[in-house]
């Protein structure tokens, strides 16, 4: 069912964190990681490290990344 959130847990910079996104966003992020030949964790870690504002939620950064991928950037 589209629209429900799927939570995934990661260890980033030595800390456990969970991110909840819609399945459609996870699908885009998984496809991008595969296209780059890397694990989803590495893509998430890169997005985490690249945030200009660390107070911005990681989920938001991942949605923006997925949107950029979908737009072909």
Q: Which residues fall within 8 angstroms of residue 25, CB to CB, at 6 or more apart?
A: 62, 63, 66
Each residue's pLDDT tens digit, 30-66: 999 999 999 999 999 999 999 989 899 999 999 999 9
pLDDT of residue 3: 56
Each residue's pLDDT tens digit, 2-30: 559 999 999 998 999 999 999 999 999 99
pLDDT of residue 2: 52
C-alpha separations of 11 from 23, 24, 47 in Å: 20, 22, 13
How would you classify residue 22: left for phi > 0, otherwise alpha for psi between -120 and 50, otherwise beta? Answer: beta
Q: Residue 2, CB half-sphere, CA atoms under 13 Å: how many? A: 3
């Amino acid at each position: 069912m589209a629209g429900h959130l799927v939570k995934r847990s990661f260890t980033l910079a030595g800390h456990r964190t969970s991110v909840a996104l819609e399945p459609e966003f996870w699908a885009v992020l998984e496809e991008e990681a595969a296209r780059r030949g890397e694990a989803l964790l590495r893509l998430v870690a890169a997005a985490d490290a690249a945030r200009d504002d660390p107070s911005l939620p990681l989920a938001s950064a991942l949605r923006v990344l997925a949107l950029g991928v979908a737009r072909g950037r």
